[in-house]
């Protein structure tokens, strides 16, 4: 069993990178990937702990991309925290993310919400903030009754305090991943909100840019949805990958390795990915 989609407090999760690895070991995973949003800062900490515990580790990242219909996230595997085409571009995105967080904090403060920058930093365990950290502080202060309510009422796209992200285009992101000797895989593809023949046609287009796989075994997908995506991946000669999308307490009900309890990503997926990398 492996898990190729997890998040630590270095982006928008609640656990340390080391904690992610420890949970994977306890769950019985043979390999774990850390895929924080837009940054690689936690990779070294997670890899060191994986070496100590004797569990396989894959360095990765999850990138938000421009998409007009639904939501497009790209997982990139075997991306090391060293200089490179995608790594250098991520540095620019990280600065934009910091600017976005500052803008969001100002909007909340100007609207009278009693939230300070220091409280946000404390919640995140450092300067690597994500919206779940804002939501967690709002929950602690009684502004909302749940993390989800914070997003639904204030922080999600289309809500009063949403601040737009700086995004890469899908083609650019895939090409940068390949130029960095890494493998691009589309995350939770049903979030694209494409229907009928639109989804296979679009993923076929992405394959033309160099897409290597589809996240088919996703933590919150039904068995039927997973089967459909596994078959789609096979029809396009893409790797059917998978992971829990674990965020700790910020995305309740998900657990490393098993998702909501019925997830099982086979070890053979990693072999298929490595064959693509060779």
Q: Is 225 exposed, middle or buried (0-12, 13-18, 19+ CB in 10 A)?
A: middle
Same domain membership, residue 241 and residue 193:
yes
- Domain with residue 48: its CATH number is 3.20.20.140
Number of domains observed in the structure of the chain: 2
Same domain membership, residue 174 and residue 74:
yes
Same domain membership, residue 219 and residue 114:
no
Domain that holds residue 101: 91-155
Same domain membership, residue 185 and residue 145:
no
Same domain membership, residue 270 and residue 197:
yes
What is the DSSP pairing of strand 183-186 with strand 213-218? Answer: parallel
Same domain membership, residue 124 and residue 230:
no
Contact (Cβ atoms closer than 8 angstroms) between residue 37 and residue 66: no
In this predicted structure, what is the pLDDT of residue 98? Answer: 86
Same domain membership, residue 239 and residue 109:
no
Which of 104, 128, 155 is the last residue before a domain boundary? 155
Cβ atoms within 10 A of the Cβ of 223, count? 8
pTM for the model stands at 0.86
Give per-10-residue mean pLDDT for the chain (278 aa): 95 92 98 95 97 98 91 96 95 87 92 91 82 91 93 90 88 97 97 94 97 97 97 97 94 93 96 91
Nearest Cα residue to 11 out of 150, 161, 104, 131: 131
- Domain with residue 130: its CATH number is 1.10.150
């Amino acid at each position: 069993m492996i898990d190729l989609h997890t998040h630590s407090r270095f982006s928008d999760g609640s656990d340390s990178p080391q904690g992610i690895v420890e949970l994977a070991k306890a769950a019985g995973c043979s390999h774990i990937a850390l895929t924080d949003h837009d940054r690689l800062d936690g990779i070294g900490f997670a890899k060191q702990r994986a070496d100590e515990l004797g569990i396989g580790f894959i360095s990765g990242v999850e990138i938000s991309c421009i998409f007009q219909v639904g939501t497009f996230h790209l997982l990139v595997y075997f991306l090391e925290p060293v200089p490179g085409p995608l790594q250098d571009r991520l540095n620019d995105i990280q600065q934009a993310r910091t600017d976005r967080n500052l803008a969001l904090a100002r909007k909340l403060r100007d609207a009278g919400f009693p939230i300070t920058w220091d409280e946000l930093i404390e919640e995140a365990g450092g300067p690597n903030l994500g919206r779940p950290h804002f939501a967690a502080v709002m929950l602690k202060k009684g502004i909302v009754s749940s993390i989800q309510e914070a997003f639904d009422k204030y922080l999600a796209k289309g809500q009063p305090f949403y601040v737009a992200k700086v995004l890469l285009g899908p083609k650019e992101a895939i090409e940068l991943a390949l130029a960095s000797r890494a493998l691009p895989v589309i995350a939770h593809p049903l979030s694209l909100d494409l229907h009928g023949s639109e989804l296979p046609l679009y993923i076929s287009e992405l394959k033309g840019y160099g897409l290597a796989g589809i996240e088919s075994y996703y933590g919150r997908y039904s068995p039927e949805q997973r089967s459909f995506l596994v078959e789609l991946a096979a029809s396009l000669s893409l790797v059917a990958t998978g992971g829990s999308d674990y965020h700790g307490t910020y995305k309740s009900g998900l657990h490393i390795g098993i998702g909501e309890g019925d997830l099982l990503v086979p070890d053979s997926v990693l072999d298929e990915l490595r064959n693509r990398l060779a």
